[in-house]
A and B are shown apart, each in its own frame.
Chain A
Amino acid sequence: MTKIEEVKAKVEAGKAKLVPGLVQEALDEGNAVGDILQAMIASMGVVGDKFSVGEIFVPEMLMAAKAMSKGVAVLKPLLAGTSTASFGTCVIGTVQGDLHDIGKNLVAMMIESAGFKIVDLGVDVSTEKFINAIKENENVTLVACSGLLTTTMSAMKETVQTLKTSGLTGFKVIVGGAPVTQAMADEIGADGFAPDAGSAVVKAKELVNA
């Protein structure tokens, strides 16, 4: 197994304590920074797929994301000046009136691992806050709205429709959360929907590349 393959395997296994050392060893062996980063992004893709099919669970996904973030920290000084956010910026938040954040956090982690810059607005986010974040951040390509309560679905609808009629351009809107379905996403005018964090990252890349 090459050192890069080892990095990939340990990120997938969520070995946060081992990954930084392995990334350093991979660098010492002369591997390119970009190749190591791509390997870690690929492992998070595998993690997302395994999560979507129920092969792994939330703790394993969190540990893999943590392992990747420790690995990226080793690469960061070498990446200075070059953007790692190849897909642009994703503004994410749980819609107004809803304090659920676990699903939103998982999606943020996975999307960040795939190569987006994340602007996480947290929970109970007003439409105005979403709009301001799009204006204030560069190259926003994706806005992700989360909601778990049936009662906040009206807030999600309002957020999506306001974003779509705001006159702002250059981004797609993805929605998710327990009560959200593809039919509902279509009805409120979202560009995409994903049923879980693993699928969200696949959909996010698809929307931005479209």
Chain B
Amino acid sequence: MLTKRQNLMETIKGGNPDRFVNQYEFMELIMEAPMDLPLAPGPGMTIKNKWGITFSWPEGQIGSFPVQDDEHKVVKDVTKWKEVVKAPSVYYTDEEWAAAVAHASSVDRTDKFVTAFCAPGIFEMTHHLMGMEDALMNLYEEPEAMQELIDYVVEYELAYAKQVIEHIHPDALFHHDDWGSQISTLISPAMFEEFILPAYKKVYGFWKENGVQLIVHHSDSYAATFVPFMIEMGIDIWQGAMTTNNIPELIKKYGGKISFMGDIDSGVVDHPAWSREEIAKYVAIACRRCGKLYFIPNLSQGLNIASFPGVYETTSEEIDKMSKEMF
């Protein structure tokens, strides 16, 4: 039996996996790493993060949202972003790194990839700072200022990457940046190529030059038209690939250059009235139509969790059943 790591490599290289890669099993996420994760920590809470962005998690809901009314948004005039945007320090004490270092050291790297986690992404940071409408219109109206801001975020990401690499020597990176809604990308391929592609070529290039073997990028959205750019920027696995992307078609077209992790939309199976039967149905559909290579069956959620208790684990069990049936 192959190790999780070997099985992953066989899957994404077009070799001979002996089962489906089961969701996030190949990644040992080092979430103890000190980071400026911007989200509100729990329901009913509102926080202001180190970038000055306010996040709120409404009671009874499943996630945290940036608050971007005129009172709260950080960048009100992008031409003056330098006056209001100040990246937090990437330097943390050894004490702050200790838990992450211990976790990374405990991992059997022949079995799993020690995985660094980065969120939010570069595009997300622009709209967290100024709101989505302003961020998108500024790409047209103030492209130079937006480019400068993106460059600034890239410099921050590179500086943080250097610290992570020095401390935990990750084998893989799991990086978030949502680029679309479920039916479309938020910006055109041409705009993406101009602003976002060069930024990620730098960031992902740096991680890979420094020992990271695997780049896993999360965007739980439609983004099929960006796949050529994903390949160019060095993404090995696109996690969160939703069914709206026609993943079997993408596998046919791009398999071998990139792999797809998803095809089980969280919104469809991860809800208060979830059931094993429903999960089994969608897992089976995904496994059968996407096949054994260049594909990892997975909920589209951007971490190894689900919104409702039991959904992630049940999905894993159903994937194991499909492995028994298909391998």
Contacts and interface: CB of A to CB of B under 8 A. Distances in A.
A63 B140 contact: yes
Interface stretch (A128-136, A145-153, A156-164, A166-174): A145-153
B58 A97 contact: yes
Nearest to B184: A54
A42 to B, nearest CB: 22
Given A150-B271, A178-B267, A99 B56 contact: yes
A120 interface: no
Interface string B141-174: 1000000000000000000000000000000000
B137 A150 contact: no
B133 A150 contact: no
A60 B23 CA distance: 36
Contact of A105 (B56, B60, B133): B133
A88 interface: no
A152 to B, nearest CB: 7
Contacts of A103: 181
Contacts of A152: 61
Nearest to A106: B133
A145 B131 CA distance: 21
A195 interface: yes
B240 to A, nearest CB: 14
B267 A58 contact: no
A196 interface: yes
B144 to A, nearest CB: 16
B139 interface: yes
Given A105-B133, A178-B181, A60 B60 contact: no
Given A14-B140, A57-B191, A63-B137, A99 B132 contact: no
Q: Secondary structure at chain B's binding surface: helix, strand, loop or mixed?
A: loop
A105 B137 CA distance: 14
B30 interface: no
A90 B270 CA distance: 33
Q: Secondary structure at chain A's binding surface: helix, strand, loop or mixed?
A: loop
B2 interface: no
B185 interface: yes
B137 A179 contact: no
Contacts of A99: 56, 58, 65, 67
Nearest to A66: B137
Contact of A62 (B56, B133, B191, B271): B133
Interface residues of A, number: 27
Contacts of B307: 151
A80 B17 CA distance: 71
Contacts of B132: 58, 102
B186 A57 contact: yes
Contacts of A77: none
B18 to A, nearest CB: 35
A111 to B, nearest CB: 16
A30 interface: no
B65 A150 contact: no
A159 to B, nearest CB: 16
Interface in B125-140: 132-133, 136-137, 139-140
Given A66-B137, A151-B271, A151-B272, A57 B184 contact: yes
A103 B13 CA distance: 39
Contacts of B139: 59
Contacts of A124: 58
18 contacts: A14-B140, A16-B141, A59-B140, A59-B187, A60-B188, A62-B137, A63-B140, A98-B58, A102-B133, A103-B181, A150-B267, A150-B270, A150-B271, A151-B61, A151-B62, A151-B307, A178-B181, A179-B267
Given A97-B61, A105-B133, 13 more contacts: A57-B184, A57-B187, A57-B191, A59-B136, A59-B137, A59-B191, A62-B137, A98-B58, A149-B61, A151-B61, A151-B62, A151-B271, A195-B183
Interface of A: 14, 16, 54, 56-60, 62-63, 66, 97-100, 102-103, 105, 124, 149-152, 178-179, 195-196
